[in-house]
Amino acid sequence: MSRKKKFFFTTVSVFLLLTHAALSQAKIEGVWKYAEVVVPGKNSAEKDTTITNPQPGLIIFTKSYYCTVAVYEPRAAVAPAKDPKNLTDAEKIARYEQWRPFAANAGTYEIQGSTIVRHPIVTKNVGNMTRGTPSFQEFKLEGPNTLWLLPTAGTPATEPRVKLTRLE
């Protein structure tokens, strides 16, 4: 094959890959809510649990940024503190328990094939924010209004599969 043909095919291939990534990114832009969560069983004998009415959660994807907020289990109301400047140990524990199942993070993202690579900038969990490594999830679009976020190969088997529906 001549050098010109090799250059042409290489250029076209790179263009197609970049175009595919850009189109995929455009397709996931929007506001998505948690619609279903599939939690894997703890071992091969235990069946997966499908939660068809999960706690509230939103993911917003813009052109290159994302924001996720989610509640993973019901949260109990907490009584007002008797002295807000001097919480008792019981009041501190109650507030910790109220916020424990809440998750929030935001940052930049990119699409690599069928993988979303997220680079957190700010998170509720300081470890996620300071570790300096991105997080990876496979994604699958089912039409224009359904998005699945799936664990990648090598991810712990306890990671859930999340079905999202587009709000806008």
- Is the CB of residue 108 less than 8 Å from the CB of residue 116? no
- Which residue in 76, 57, 55 sits closest to 66, CA to CA? 57
Residue 81 lies in a domain: no
Residue 148 lies in a domain: yes
The CATH number covering residue 117 comes to 2.40.128.280
Average pLDDT over residues 102-111: 96
CA distance 34 to 53: 9
Is the pLDDT higher at 24 or at 83?
83
Q: What secondary structure does DSSP assign to the chain, as a single string?
A: --HHHHHHHHHHHHHHHHHHHHHHHHHH-EEEEEEEEEEPPSSTTSPPEEESSPPPEEEEE-SSEEEEEEE-S-----PPPSSTTS--HHHHHHHHHHHTTEEEEEEEEEEETTEEEEEEEEESSHHHHHS---EEEEEEE-SSSEEEEEPPTTS-TT--EEEEEE--
Q: What domain range is 142 assigned to? A: 3-74+102-166
Confidence tier at 24 by pLDDT (50, 70, 90): low
45 has a pLDDT exceeding 90: no
Query: How many domains is the chain built from?
Result: 1
Q: Report the pLDDT value the prediction gives residue 111, as an integer from 0 to 100.
A: 96
Residue 64 lies in a domain: yes
Residue 95 lies in a domain: no
Residue 92 lies in a domain: no
Average pLDDT over residues 93-108: 94
Residue 123 lies in a domain: yes
Q: Report the pLDDT value the prediction gives residue 3, as an integer from 0 to 100.
A: 55
Confidence tier at 128 by pLDDT (50, 70, 90): confident
Q: For 150-164, how does the pLDDT look when each residue is reduced to its tens digit (9 = 90+)? A: 999 888 878 899 999
Residue 107 lies in a domain: yes
pTM beyond 0.85 = no
Residue 116 lies in a domain: yes
Average pLDDT over residues 19-39: 78
